[in-house]
Amino acid sequence: MERIHVTVRARPLSPEDAKSSPWRIVGNSIFIPNHSSKFEFDRIFDQDCKTLEVYEARTRDIVAAAVRGFNGTVFAYGQTNSGKTHTMRGSLTEPGVIPRAVHDLFDIILGKVDREFLLRMSYMEIYNEDINDLLAPEHRKLQIHESLERGIYVAGLREEIVASPQQVLNLMDFGESHRHIGETNMNLHSSRSHTIFRMIIESRDKTEDDNNDNSCDAVRVSVLNLVDLAGSERAAKTGAEGVRLKEGSHINKSLMTLGTVIKKLSEGAESQGGHVPYRDSKLTRILQPALGGNANTAIICNITLAQIHADETKSSLQFASRALCVTNCARVNEILTDAALLKRQKKEIEELRAKLQASHSEHLEEEILRLRNTLLQSELERERIALELEEEKKAQAEREKVLQEQAKKIKNLSSMVLYSNRDENHERAKKNKRRDTWCPGNLSSESLQEVYSNVHLKASAVKSTRTEREMGPLLPFEELVNETEMEDESCKQDEDGRSYSSEDCNLPDPCALLNITSRRK
Is 10:45 a contact under the CB 8 Å cutoff?
A: yes
Who has greater pLDDT, 410 or 429?
410
Q: Residues 112, 19: one domain?
A: yes
Q: Residues 380, 255: one domain?
A: no
Q: What is the pLDDT of residue 465?
A: 47
Binding residues for ATP: 78-85
Judge whether 147 lies within some domain: yes
Q: Residues 248, 362: one domain?
A: no
Q: Domain boundary residue among 291, 314, 336?
A: 336
Give the C-alpha separation, 226 to 97, whole Å. Answer: 8
The 10s digit of each residue's pLDDT in 417-434 is 777 777 666 666 665 555
User: Which of 44-53, 150-159, 219-228, 233-242 is predicted with the least confidence, judged by mean pLDDT?
Assistant: 233-242
Domain encompassing residue 113? 2-207+216-336
pLDDT-based confidence at residue 467 (cuts at 50, 70, 90): very low
Q: What is the pLDDT of residue 505?
A: 47
User: Which of 60-69, 124-133, 269-278 is predicted with the least confidence, judged by mean pLDDT?
Assistant: 269-278
Is residue 504 scored above 90 in pLDDT? Answer: no
Interior angle at CA 262, CA 196 and CA 200, nearest 5: 30
pTM for this prediction: 0.64
Is 191:212 a contact under the CB 8 Å cutoff?
A: no
* Closest C-alpha to 301, from 258, 264, 341, 265: 258
Q: Residues 358, 222: one domain?
A: no
Judge whether 294 lies within some domain: yes
Write out the DSSP string of 176-223. Answer: HTTS-EE--SS-TTEE-SEEEEEEEEEEEE--S-TT-TT----EEEEE
pLDDT-based confidence at residue 503 (cuts at 50, 70, 90): very low
Find the mean pLDDT for residues 18-23.
90
Who has greater pLDDT, 512 or 229?
229
Is residue 189 scored above 90 in pLDDT? Answer: no
Q: What is the pLDDT of residue 432?
A: 58
Is residue 367 scored above 70 in pLDDT? Answer: yes
Q: What is the pLDDT of residue 378?
A: 86
* Closest C-alpha to 73, from 198, 220, 258, 201: 198
Q: Domain boundary residue among 380, 395, 410?
A: 395
Is 201:66 a contact under the CB 8 Å cutoff?
A: yes
Who has greater pLDDT, 354 or 299?
299
Judge whether 427 lies within some domain: no
Q: What is the pLDDT of residue 5?
A: 95
Q: What is the pLDDT of residue 473?
A: 55
Q: Residues 196, 237: one domain?
A: yes
Who has greater pLDDT, 444 or 24?
24
Judge whether 10 lies within some domain: yes
Judge whether 500 lies within some domain: no
Counting the structural domains of the chain, the total is 2
Is residue 511 scored above 70 in pLDDT? Answer: no
The 10s digit of each residue's pLDDT in 102-137 is 999 999 999 998 899 999 999 999 999 999 999 999
Q: Tell me the longest C-alpha to C-alpha distance in the chain.
A: 183
Four-CA torsion 385, 390, 393, 395, nearest 10 degrees: -100
Is residue 377 scored above 50 in pLDDT? Answer: yes
Q: Residues 174, 231: one domain?
A: yes
Q: Residue 149's domain is classified under what CATH number?
A: 3.40.850.10
Find the mean pLDDT for residues 192-200.
94
Q: Other CB atoms closer than 10 Å to residue 318's CB: what's the count?
A: 14
Is residue 215 scored above 60 in pLDDT? Answer: no
Phi-psi region of 78 (alpha: psi -120 to 50; beta: other; left: phi over 0): left
- In our burial notation (b when 16+ CB lie closer than 10 A, e otherwise), range 146-167 reads eeeeebebbeebbbeebeebeb
Q: Residues 379, 332: one domain?
A: no
Q: Residues 323, 353: one domain?
A: no
User: Which of 16-20, 261-265, 360-364 is predicted with the least confidence, judged by mean pLDDT?
Assistant: 360-364
Q: What is the pLDDT of residue 352?
A: 84
Is residue 68 scored above 80 in pLDDT? Answer: yes
Binding residues: 78-85
Give the C-alpha separation, 117 to 163, whole Å. Answer: 10
Please name every residue paired with 300 in a beta bridge, in sequence order, or none if there are none.
7, 76
Q: What is the pLDDT of residue 469?
A: 47
Q: Residues 110, 140: one domain?
A: yes
Q: What is the pLDDT of residue 427?
A: 65
Q: Kindly report the average pLDDT of the chain as a whole number.
A: 82
Give the C-alpha separation, 46 to 9, whole Å. Answer: 6
Q: What is the pLDDT of residue 371?
A: 87
Give the C-alpha separation, 507 to 381, whole Å. Answer: 97
Find the mean pLDDT for residues 335-340.
71
The 10s digit of each residue's pLDDT in 279-324 is 999 999 999 988 988 999 999 999 999 998 888 999 999 999 999 9
Judge whether 447 lies within some domain: no
Phi-psi region of 157 (alpha: psi -120 to 50; beta: other; left: phi over 0): beta
Q: What is the pLDDT of residue 362?
A: 64
Is residue 157 scored above 60 in pLDDT? Answer: yes
Is 194:230 a contact under the CB 8 Å cutoff?
A: yes
Judge whether 501 lies within some domain: no
Q: Residues 268, 183: one domain?
A: yes
Q: Domain boundary residue among 296, 313, 336?
A: 336
Q: Residues 376, 303: one domain?
A: no
Q: What is the pLDDT of residue 487?
A: 57
Q: What is the pLDDT of residue 107?
A: 95
Judge whether 60 lies within some domain: yes
Q: What is the pLDDT of residue 229?
A: 93
CA 478, distance to chain mean position in Å, is 127
Q: Residues 380, 290: one domain?
A: no
